[in-house]
């Protein structure tokens, strides 16, 4: 199980980072969201995985590590704030710069250049 979990986290972060390395703001925002999922799962797992033992007292004997959960909660909220800001900033960029490329202008197309 841990293995599967780890694989998922790794894969998600790969996709997230890859998308964050792309050139268009909206893609970056999607990548950011994906990456933050990965981050949250990672942070969550840092206390180990527990099944069927939520950290609500007197519901069972052994409890899941509550601290990472609290941290993840905070992380989620902050992540939400950041994502929201990022997406609006992306819109602002498109409004001001007329393009949704991160550098404000579409880079020249090397392939097109080859054709010419």
Partner 1 sequence: MHYFWVPFLPMFGIIVPLLANKLNRSACTLATALLPALALCLIFLDLPAVLAGESFSKSIEWIPQLGLSLSFRLDGLAALFSILILGIGLLVILYARYYLSEKDHIGRFYCYLIMFMTAMLGIVMSNNMLQLWFYWELTSISSFLLIGFWSHNSDARKGARMALTITGAGGLALLGGIILLGQVVGSYELDVVLNSGELVKQSPYYLAILSLFLIGAFTKSAQFPFHFWLPHAMAAPTPVSAYLHSATMVKAGIFLLARFYPVLAGTETWFVVVSLTGLFTMLLGAYTALFKHDLKGLLAYSTISHLGLIVLLLGLNTELAAIAAIFHIMNHAVFKASLFMAAGIIDHESGSRDMRKINGLWKYMPITATLAMVASASMAGVPLLNGFLSKEMFFTETLEQSILGSMSWLIPVLATIAAAFSVAYSLRFIHDVFFNGEPKGLTKTPHEPPRYMRVPVEILVAICLLVGIFPNYTIGPLLESASLAVFNHALPEYSLSIWHGFNFPLLMSGMATMGGVAIYLNRKHLFKFSGMFPDIDAKLVFEGCIQASVAWAQKITMKLENGSLQRYAFCLCFFALLLIAPPLFDLDTTRGSLPGTPINGAVLVAAILIIAGSLATIIWSHYRLIALLMLSLVGLVVSITFAYFSAPDLALTQLSVEIVTVILLLLALYFFPQQTPTSKSRPSHFVRDLTVASFIGCIIGSICFALMTHPLDSISAFFLANAKTGGGGTNVVNVILVDFRGFDTFGEITVLGIAALGIHKLIARMRLSVRTKDYAGRLWAKDKYPVLLSVVSQSLLPLFLLISAYIFMRGHNLPGGGFIAGLITSIALIQQYLAHGVDWMAKRVSVNYHYMIAIGLTIAGLTGLGSWIFDRPFLTSWFEYVSLPWIGKFELASALVFDIGVYFTVIGATLLILASLGKLTTTERLTVGER
Partner 2 sequence: MSLFDHLVIFPVLIPFFVAVALLFPGLSNSLSKQRVVSITANILMVVVAFSLLFKVEAQGIQVYALGDWSAPFGIVLVADLFSVLMVCLSAILGLAVTMYASAGEDKTGAFFHTLIMFQLMGINGAFLTGDAFNLFVFFEVLLIASYSLMIHGGGKQRTQANIHYVFLNLIGSSLFLFALGTLYGTLGTLNFADMADRIPLLSSNELLIAKSGALLLLAVFGLKAAMLPLHFWLPKAYSTTSTPVAALFAIMTKVGIYSIWRVHGVIFGDQAGELANIALPWLWPIALLTIAIGAIAVLASKSLRVLCSNLVIVSVGTLLVTISLNTVQATSAGIYYLLHSTIACAAMFLLAGLIQQQRGQAEDRFVAARAMPQAGVLGFIFALLAIALIGMPPLSGFVGKALILQSVTNASEAMWVFPIILVGGLIALIALSRAGTSLFWRTNGENTSALKGHPLQYLAIGLLVVILPLMVIFGGPVSDYTQLAAEQLKAGLSLQQLNEVAK
Q: Using CB under 8 A, which residues numbered 80 to 99 contact partner 1?
A: 80-85, 87-92, 94-95, 98
The enclosing H or E element of 72 equals helix 66-97
Nearest Cα residue to 68 out of 30, 38, 40: 40
Tokens coding 65: 């590590």
Place of tokens 């202008």: 105
| Residue 32 contact, options partner 2, partner 1, none, Cβ 5-8 Å cut-off depending on partner type | partner 2
Under the binding rule (CB under 8 A), the answer on residue 115 touching partner 1 is no
Residue 80 phi, psi dihedral angles, 5° rounding = -60, -50
Residue 36 near residue 58 (C-beta atoms within 8 A)? no
In terms of CB distance, is 52 or 116 closer to partner 1? 52
The pattern of x and - marking residues 40 through 79 that bind partner 1 according to CB under 8 A reads: xxx-xxxxxxxxxxxxxxx----xxxxx-xxxxxx-xxxx
Binding to partner 2 (CB under 8 A): which residues in 30-59?
32, 35-36, 39, 42-43, 45-47
């Amino acid at each position: 199980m841990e293995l599967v979990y780890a694989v998922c986290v790794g894969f998600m972060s790969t996709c997230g980072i890859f998308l964050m390395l792309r050139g268009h703001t909206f893609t970056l925002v999607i990548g950011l969201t994906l990456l933050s999922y990965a981050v949250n799962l990672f942070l969550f797992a840092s206390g180990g995985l527990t099944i069927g033992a939520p950290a609500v007292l007197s519901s069972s004997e052994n409890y899941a590590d509550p601290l990472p959960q609290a941290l993840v909660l905070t992380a989620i909220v902050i992540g939400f704030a950041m994502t929201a800001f990022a997406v609006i900033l992306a819109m602002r960029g498109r409004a001001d710069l007329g393009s949704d490329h991160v550098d404000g202008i579409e880079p020249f197309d090397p392939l097109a250049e080859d054709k010419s």
